[in-house]
Amino acid sequence: MSKPSTKSSKKAIGLVAENPWQALKQFTSARIALGRAGTSIPTQQLLPFQLDHARAIDAVHKALAVESLIEQLQASSIIQKHIKHAPMVVNSKANDRMTYLQRPDLGRQLCEASWQSLLKHRDKISQEYDLAIVVADGLSSTAIQRHAAPVIESLVTKLTKDDKYSWSLAPLTIVKQGRVAVGDDVGECLKAKITLILIGERPGLTSPDSMGIYITWNPKRGAKDSSRNCISNIRPEGLCYEEASHKAFYLLTESMKTKCTGIGLKDRSLVVEDSSNLESNPKSQFLVSAAKDK
Instruction: Count how many residues are written for the chain.
Output: 294
pTM here is 0.84
Going by pLDDT thresholds of 50, 70 and 90, the confidence category of residue 269 is: confident
Residue 284 has pLDDT above 60, yes or no: no
Rounded mean pLDDT of the chain? 88
End-to-end CA distance of the chain: 81
Nearest CA among 196, 187, 231 for reference residue 211: 231
Amino acid 22: pLDDT:
87
Euclidean distance between CA atoms 234 and 254, whole angstroms: 21
Within 182-281, residue ranges assigned H as helices are 182-190, 241-258, 269-280
Amino acid 293: pLDDT:
46
Burial class (CB in 10 A: 0-12, 13-18, 19+), 21: exposed
Residue 24 has pLDDT above 60, yes or no: yes
**Average pLDDT of the segment spanning 33-40:** 90
pLDDT digits (tens, 9 = 90+) for 148-206: 999 999 999 999 999 989 999 999 999 999 999 999 999 999 999 999 999 999 998 88
DSSP state of 239: B
pLDDT digits (tens, 9 = 90+) for 211-242: 999 999 999 999 999 999 999 999 999 999 99
